Structure formats: structure tokens, C-alpha cells
């Protein structure tokens, strides 16, 4: 059995899991609060303690672990093992030597990978992308993260920045995105974008169940609440998901033309809306692609849930170890 640790460095929690990288099984896992306000030095010490504790709790020795993979939310320098910009963590972690620090504190070789590229790799190795050579992943939540596996290889691009599918421009005259650009997919189909469409409908006094469900408190409107209204046949709620699915379909059509994926995988909380989102996305994608066999492209939900990132990070650590050994 080949065991590696996969870690998800989140703004709220640090999660570590020991993964059997031959089967994708989660053997043992644990999490602690990130407490990111304390600064990166304190967080890295907490991470190292978590890794050592999870090994001990599993009844293993350090020698039983091949290495550590850390999925981090932001821009990384994969070769140096540094974080460059983690927008959701206080201080944004410029040039923090995360891999070297964890190696020093644990004695275990450590590699980094963007968190959604970790999800992508996990889903490709053991989830919804298994068995095909080229996949695209959209992880739809607070933002829209992305990742690509092309011809059996995780596509990294320059320094691991390739695959930011949520920042494809789908309307060059569109609203400003958090990344600084205008009209990115994220501004049209992320969780906050969907919630904002619901808020606008209620604020305008339109006849919709969304208002009743949130008791006319706009702050309580979420994508889940809008999906609930849509599931009961509410026209305005259905139309909101129709729009979000349309925008995803526009982005998917560009991915089809550029990369030709066999499967497009939707991950993240917003994807739980299911057919409300998938159907308009698929219709739009199929109607807008004429240069490749788009009827052969599947749009499927992710399979690994919250474990995709830790599984992918651990598998990436193993692949990096094999590459270095080679």
C-alpha cells in the first residue's frame, strides 16, 4: 500500500488525510481551524503538527508516508514550493516557502498544487474523470475555480496557473471581476452571482417564492434557496438557473473548441442544483459548437465530494515523487 498525505489549506479549516494512492481510499483524516489571522508562520506550524498527529492517530510511522501534497487557494510557484498570492488568507502569503517549511518541520517531502487543480486531479484519478484522457473541471462556489487534464496529464501552464476556467471572459463589456478583469464567467455563474440575481428579483418586487422562502430578508438568499424555489416550479428561480447554465454553456463551448474534453465535470456547492444547471449548460454548449464532435462531450457531476482535493493533492505528491525518482 502506498500512503501519502493530502492537505486542503482552507481559509477556515486545515484538513489532512492519509490516502492510499493506489485505490484513492481515505484511510484516516483530521482537521483543525486554520486561524489564518495569526499569520503564515503560525499556520505552517499548525499544519506540520496536524500532519504528525494524523500519522500518529492512524497508528503509523513517518516512514510509512511517501510525502505530502498541499492544495492551496491561490497563485503558487510550484517549482520553488512557494505561495505567491492567497487572496482569502490575511497577508496574502507572498513568497512564503511553504513546501520547504513543512519538509523542515516534518521531515517529509512536500509539494504544492492549486486547490482546484487538486480537485481536478483527484476527480480524474478516482472520480468522475476516471478512464478518459481529457477533462475540464468547473468548481462552482464562492468563485469558479477550474482545472484541465489534457492527454492524460494535469495541465499546469506557467508555474501551475493554467486552467483558471472561471476567469475566461464571456462578455468583454461585463462587470468587473474580483481578479481585476471584466466579464469573467465567475461574475455570471458563481454562487454570489446566482444569489445576486435572486436578491435583485425580490428587491424589484417580482412575484417569486424566493421572497417567501427568505422571509424577505435579502441576506438569506443563497443559490440553494433559489434552487428550492425553482424545484417547486417558481418561474423566476428557474430563469435564474437557466441564465447561469447558459453562461456556463458559453464557457464550455470555448473549452470544447480549444481543448476537446471528453468530459466536463461540475464540482462545488452550486453544482448540487443538478438538472436546473446542467440542462441549460448542455443545451447551450451543444448549440454553439460546430468544429468538433460536441455530441461526444459529457457534462457530469463530480463524484468525490469534499474528498476530491485531499485525494488529488496526495496523488500529485506521489506523481511528483515518481518524476523526481525518474
Sign of CA dihedral 147, 151, 157, 160: positive
pTM, full prediction: 0.96
The secondary structure of residue 177, as a DSSP letter, is P
From CA 48, how far away is CA 165, in angstroms rounded?
32
What is residue 265's predicted lDDT score, i.e. its pLDDT? 98
pLDDT at 246 > cutoff 80? yes
Domains present along the chain, CATH in parentheses: 3-121+306-325 (3.30.420.40), 132-302 (3.30.420.40)
At 326 the pLDDT is 72
Strand-pairing partners, residue 15, are 8, 31
DSSP string computed for 213-272 = HTTT-GGG--HHHHHHHHHTT-HHHHHHHHHHHHHHHHHHHHHHHHH--SEEEEESGGGG
pLDDT tens per residue, range 161-182: 999 999 999 999 999 999 899 9
pLDDT of residue 324: 85
The answer, yes or no, to whether residue 284 has pLDDT greater than 90, is yes
Mean pLDDT, all residues of the chain:
97
Is the predicted pLDDT of residue 121 greater than 90, yes or no?
yes
Per-residue model confidence as pLDDT tens digits over 38-96: 999 999 999 999 999 999 999 999 999 999 999 999 999 999 999 999 988 999 999 99
The rounded distance, in Å, linking the Cα atoms of 19 and 29 is 9
pLDDT value at residue 247 = 98
Q: At what angle do helices 40-57 and 98-106 cross, to 10 degrees?
A: 40
Amino acid at each position: 500500500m502506498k500512503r501519502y498525505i493530502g492537505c486542503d489549506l482552507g481559509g477556515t479549516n486545515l484538513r489532512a488525510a492519509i490516502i492510499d494512492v493506489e485505490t484513492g481510499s481515505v484511510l484516516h483524516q483530521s482537521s483543525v481551524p486554520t486561524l489564518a489571522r495569526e499569520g503564515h508562520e503560525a499556520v505552517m506550524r499548525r499544519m506540520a503538527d496536524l500532519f504528525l498527529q494524523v500519522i500518529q492517530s492512524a497508528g503509523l510511522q513517518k516512514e510509512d508516508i511517501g510525502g505530502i501534497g498541499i492544495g492551496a487557494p491561490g497563485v503558487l510557484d510550484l517549482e520553488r514550493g512557494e505561495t505567491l498570492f492567497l487572496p482569502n488568507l490575511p497577508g496574502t502569503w507572498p513568497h512564503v516557502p511553504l513546501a520547504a517549511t513543512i519538509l523542515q518541520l516534518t521531515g517529509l517531502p512536500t509539494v504544492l498544487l492549486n486547490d482546484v487543480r487538486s480537485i481536478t486531479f483527484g476527480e480524474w484519478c478516482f472520480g468522475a474523470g476516471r478512464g478518459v484522457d481529457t477533462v475540464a473541471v468547473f468548481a462552482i462556489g464562492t468563485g469558479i475555480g477550474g482545472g484541465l487534464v489534457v492527454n492524460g496529464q494535469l495541465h499546469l501552464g506557467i508555474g501551475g496557473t493554467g486552467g483558471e476556467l472561471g476567469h475566461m471572459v464571456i462578455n468583454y463589456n461585463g462587470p468587473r471581476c474580483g481578479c481585476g478583469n471584466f466579464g469573467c464567467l465567475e461574475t455570471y455563474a458563481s454562487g454570489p452571482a446566482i444569489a445576486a440575481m435572486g436578491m435583485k428579483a425580490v428587491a424589484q418586487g417580482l412575484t417569486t417564492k424566493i421572497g417567501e422562502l427568505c422571509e424577505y430578508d435579502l441576506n438569506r438568499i443563497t443559490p440553494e434557496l433559489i434552487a428550492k424555489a425553482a424545484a417547486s416550479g417558481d418561474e423566476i428561480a428557474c430563469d435564474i438557473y437557466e441564465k447561469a447554465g447558459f453562461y456556463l454553456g458559453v464557457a464550455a463551448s470555448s473549452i470544447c473548441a480549444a481543448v476537446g474534453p471528453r468530459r466536463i465535470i461540475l464540482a462545488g456547492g452550486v453544482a448540487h442544483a443538478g438538472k436546473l444547471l446542467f440542462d441549460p449548460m448542455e443545451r447551450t454548449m451543444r448549440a454553439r459548437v460546430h468544429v468538433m464532435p460536441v455530441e461526444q462531450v459529457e457534462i457530469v457531476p463530480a463524484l468525490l465530494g469534499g474528498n476530491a482535493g485531499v485525494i488529488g493533492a496526495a496523488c500529485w505528491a506521489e506523481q511528483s515523487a515518481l518524476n523526481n525518482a525518474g
